Amino acid sequence: MIKTAVILAAGFGRRLGEKTQDLPKGLLSFDGIPLIQHSIEKLIQARIENIVLGTGYLHEAYENFAAQYPQITCVPISHYQSSGSMNTLYQLNKHIHEDFLLLESDLLYEKQALKILLTHERPNVILASGFTHSGDEVYIETNEQYRLINMSKERSLLSSAYGELVGITKLSLSAYQELCHYAERHLATQPKMEYEHGLVAISGEVPLLVHKEEGIAWCEIDDESHWDRAVKEIYPLITVRDCGEKPIKRNILLNPGPATTSDRVKYAQVVPDICPREEEFGQIMAYVSTELTQFVADPKEYTTVLFGGSGTAAVEAILSSVIDERAVLIIENGAYGKRMAQIADVYQLNTITFPSPFDQELNRSQLEEIIQTHQKELGYVAVVHNETTTGLLNDIPAIGALCQKYNLHLIVDAMSSYAAIPIDMKKMNIHYLAASSNKNLQGMPGVSFVITQRSLLEKTKTIKPRNYYLHLYSQYDYFEKNHQMRFTPPVQTLYALKQAILETKEEGIKARYERYSKSWETLITGVTRLGMSHLVDINNHSKIITAILEPSVPGYDFNEMHDFFYERGFTIYPGKLEGLNTFRVANIGDITYKEIEEFLTLLESYLGPLLKKVK
């Protein structure tokens, strides 16, 4: 069992500027304690008994810090000013007598990182992650057996990049001795050699396994951008992952939102009570607003206006706030397009509806004819991106091009497409976009939002308000000035949304849609095998939610089938089409194709006896 850890802490940390003028980088305060203390506390919790600290720059500060820990031995490194990390590691040879963990001093990481290495069966293991795109990365090349071949900050120098160096490595004593032998031969001519170079050099003689852990939460802090990323993204993620709560009973929600969430999102709501008027909470909302914008547009030009409410609140905020005396053309090819028309009717807006089949691609020629017919009075087009009634995906780029051609503003309900299907508001010519926290973002319900250009919002302030709570410009203007909503926000839901945003960024929208698509393909293959049909052709399908025709067999009852699934931890949803018996299955949320396979097994076990009776 590993009982020793070695931390390389001799460097200057010059890229952090004035922050390291009076303190070495490892002793900079991060969330109230020195950066290196985060690592030391985790090492001690992992039953590491001896921690060897190789110090250089302002080494006295490390010695003062280490006085509170009997486990720490500080070793001042000679010539640290003109040497690299390999020299530091070599000079610690009198203090290393057994296998050990090797760490860099400027790391933040989740506990799991240590657990992976400490429990790994191999004696020499380099921890790697997926690509963080954080800057100053060290890329790792391996062979087919995941043995180390090369490492470099220049990705082009590698034949291929398998992963990114985290900065935590498990080394056997014999491997360390090989490193020292190499250092003795080469440090005189290469004093600035880094320890990574040494590992590559001995990899031909010593098998060094690279263990890649996708999604591991970690970061190094070399400069201000790293510091900012640590504060806003990585440390909150680490905090949630390390909190150690028991797993919550996992239900698989196959309804079209709210979706199945991770435990991290659920536990993110467990925070100290705070008044939402505090500056600290304002910063949370500002972060959420900026990051939601970032997924679809440039925050320098666009902004996100937050509301407490369901997704319909955001749609209603747009329709009631931005439309002047000109008409809005609403595309109706499902229940949610119809809902927009109902909202417009409540506000007595000048409305033109364009009915379109719920299961077919929009006829753009007919749409253009309607636009041409009403061109003088028309100012807006409103459409649902992914019609949640059926899973029909409307061609927003094509509709956006039509709007651009006729100088119309495009309003898009992206409730069940945002954060899954890639969206670029500027390229697609989307003027107003509505979405919510609880579908593809995989957050909790209770927050809706509108994304639009600031310049457009400024122009709407002259429109007489039709709604008080949902008035878009008033909400935007108040938030810009105060970093607060006008009315009490759903505090805990916003903490959960921040965590959901972090997880969305961690996975990436493209990768999330690929995961959803694989689940959808599994679903379609399974229901087809069972002899069932779905409504929308695959070429026009969003691959996010599917309307499935109910079997026309004696004894079938949707409510009974719903209860059958619910008792087994799955939730399905009734259809929303008049005159057509369907049920809906959404493949969104924190699930994979494996859960869809489980659903299909249950579906077959429920329907099988009913179908056999017919035969």
Token pair 């490390």 is found at 62
- Final residue in a domain of this structure, among 236, 260, 295: 236
Q: Are strands 252-253 and 570-571 parallel, antiparallel or unpaired?
A: parallel
Condensed to tens digits (0 to 9), the pLDDT of residues 32-61 reads 899 999 999 999 999 999 999 999 999 999
pLDDT at 271: 80
pLDDT at 509: 95
For residue 249, pLDDT over 90 is answered with no
Going by pLDDT thresholds of 50, 70 and 90, the confidence category of residue 91 is very high
The two tokens of residue 100 are 């050990």
pLDDT at 481: 95
Instruction: Tell me, yes or no, whether 175 and 297 share the same domain.
Output: no
For residue 452, pLDDT over 80 is answered with yes
Condensed to tens digits (0 to 9), the pLDDT of residues 427-440 reads 999 999 999 999 99
Token pair 């020292």 is found at 180
Determine the average pLDDT of the residues in 252-280.
Answer: 90
Determine the average pLDDT of the residues in 542-547.
Answer: 97
Determine the average pLDDT of the residues in 526-554.
Answer: 94
CB 420 within 8 A of CB 500: no
pLDDT at 248: 82
pLDDT at 476: 98
Determine the average pLDDT of the residues in 21-35.
Answer: 90
The two tokens of residue 143 are 């062979």
More confident call, 512 vs 272: 512
Going by pLDDT thresholds of 50, 70 and 90, the confidence category of residue 458 is very high
- Final residue in a domain of this structure, among 506, 533, 554: 506
Q: How many residues does the structure list for the chain?
A: 615
Distance of CA 118 to the CA centre of its chain: 28
Q: Kindly state whether residue 290 falls inside one of the protein's structural domains.
A: yes
pLDDT at 472: 98
Q: Are strands 100-104 and 4-9 parallel, antiparallel or unpaired?
A: parallel
Instruction: Tell me, yes or no, whether 388 and 436 share the same domain.
Output: yes
Instruction: Tell me, yes or no, whether 494 and 537 share the same domain.
Output: no
pLDDT at 245: 61
- Residue 346 maps to which CATH number? 3.40.640.10
Q: Kindly state whether residue 523 falls inside one of the protein's structural domains.
A: yes
Instruction: Tell me, yes or no, whether 423 and 438 share the same domain.
Output: yes
Calpha distance 585→573 (Å, rounded): 7
Axis crossing angle, helix 472-482 with helix 311-322, rounded to the nearest 10: 100
Instruction: Tell me, yes or no, whether 201 and 281 share the same domain.
Output: no
Calpha distance 416→410 (Å, rounded): 17
Helix (H) or strand (E) holding 263: helix 263-267
pLDDT at 246: 66
Going by pLDDT thresholds of 50, 70 and 90, the confidence category of residue 67 is very high
Q: Which of 14-18, 37-41, 298-302, 528-532 has the lowest mean pLDDT?
A: 14-18
What secondary structure does DSSP assign to 280-341, as a single string?
HHHHHHHHHHHHHHHTTS-TTTEEEEEEES-HHHHHHHHHHHH--SSEEEEEESSHHHHHHH
Tally Cβ neighbours within 10 Å of residue 368.
13
Helix (H) or strand (E) holding 493: helix 491-507
Total tally of structural domains belonging to the chain: 3
Q: Kindly state whether residue 249 falls inside one of the protein's structural domains.
A: no
- Residue 585 maps to which CATH number? 3.90.1150.10
Q: For the stretch 380-415, what's the b/e string if a residue is b when 16 or more beta carbons lie within 10 angstroms of its beta carbon?
A: bbbbbbbbbbbbbbbbbeebbebbeeeebbbbbbbb
Closest by alpha carbon to 2, among 153, 168, 144?
Answer: 168
pLDDT at 579: 83
pLDDT at 614: 56
- Residue 65 maps to which CATH number? 3.90.550.10
Q: Which residues pair with 383 in a beta bridge?
A: 412
Q: Kindly state whether residue 242 falls inside one of the protein's structural domains.
A: no
Closest by alpha carbon to 220, among 337, 98, 373, 107?
Answer: 107
Calpha distance 319→158 (Å, rounded): 53
- Final residue in a domain of this structure, among 464, 480, 506: 506
> CA separation (Å) from 523 to 229, 261, 536, 592?
38, 20, 14, 11
pTM here is: 0.72
User: Phi/psi at 317 (nearest 5 deg)?
Assistant: -60, -40
Condensed to tens digits (0 to 9), the pLDDT of residues 121-177 reads 999 999 999 888 888 899 999 999 999 999 999 999 999 999 999 999 999 999 999
Q: For the stretch 464-475, what's the b/e string if a residue is b when 16 or more beta carbons lie within 10 angstroms of its beta carbon?
A: eebeeebbbbbb
Instruction: Tell me, yes or no, whether 208 and 306 share the same domain.
Output: no
Going by pLDDT thresholds of 50, 70 and 90, the confidence category of residue 615 is low
CB 325 within 8 A of CB 347: no
**E-assigned strand segments in 110-259:** 125-129, 139-142, 148-152, 163-171, 209-212, 218-220, 252-253
For residue 17, pLDDT over 90 is answered with no
Instruction: Tell me, yes or no, whether 20 and 168 share the same domain.
Output: yes
Calpha distance 54→75 (Å, rounded): 5
CB 63 within 8 A of CB 72: no
> CA separation (Å) from 606 to 357, 551, 556, 558?
32, 12, 10, 11
Calpha distance 219→164 (Å, rounded): 11
The two tokens of residue 313 are 């609140």
CB 172 within 8 A of CB 125: no
Going by pLDDT thresholds of 50, 70 and 90, the confidence category of residue 270 is confident
Q: Kindly state whether residue 266 falls inside one of the protein's structural domains.
A: no
pLDDT at 214: 84
pLDDT at 192: 94
Tally Cβ neighbours within 10 Å of residue 31.
11
Instruction: Tell me, yes or no, whether 42 and 22 share the same domain.
Output: yes
Instruction: Tell me, yes or no, whether 524 and 459 share the same domain.
Output: no
What secondary structure does DSSP assign to 362-422, as a single string?
--HHHHHHHHHHTTTTEEEEEEESEETTTTEE--HHHHHHHHHHTT-EEEEE-TTTTTTS-
Going by pLDDT thresholds of 50, 70 and 90, the confidence category of residue 18 is confident
Arithmetic mean of pLDDT over the chain:
94
> CA separation (Å) from 125 to 115, 149, 170, 412, 577?
12, 13, 5, 50, 56
Question: Could you give the percent of the chain with pLDDT greater than 70?
Answer: 99
Condensed to tens digits (0 to 9), the pLDDT of residues 331-374 reads 999 999 999 999 999 999 999 999 999 999 999 999 999 999 99
Question: Residue 192's domain spans which residues?
Answer: 4-236
Instruction: Tell me, yes or no, whether 413 and 527 share the same domain.
Output: no
Instruction: Tell me, yes or no, whether 381 and 464 share the same domain.
Output: yes
Q: Kindly state whether residue 252 falls inside one of the protein's structural domains.
A: no
> Which residues have a Cβ under 8 Å from the Cβ of 132 and sit 6 or more positions away?
164, 219
What secondary structure does DSSP assign to 207-234, as a single string?
--EEEE-TT--EEE-SSHHHHHHIIIII
Q: Kindly state whether residue 428 falls inside one of the protein's structural domains.
A: yes
Please state the three-class secondary structure of 538-584 as a single string: HHHECCCEEEEECCCCCCCCHHHHHHHHHCCCEECEECCCCCCCEEE
Instruction: Tell me, yes or no, whether 180 and 98 share the same domain.
Output: yes
Q: Kindly state whether residue 261 falls inside one of the protein's structural domains.
A: no
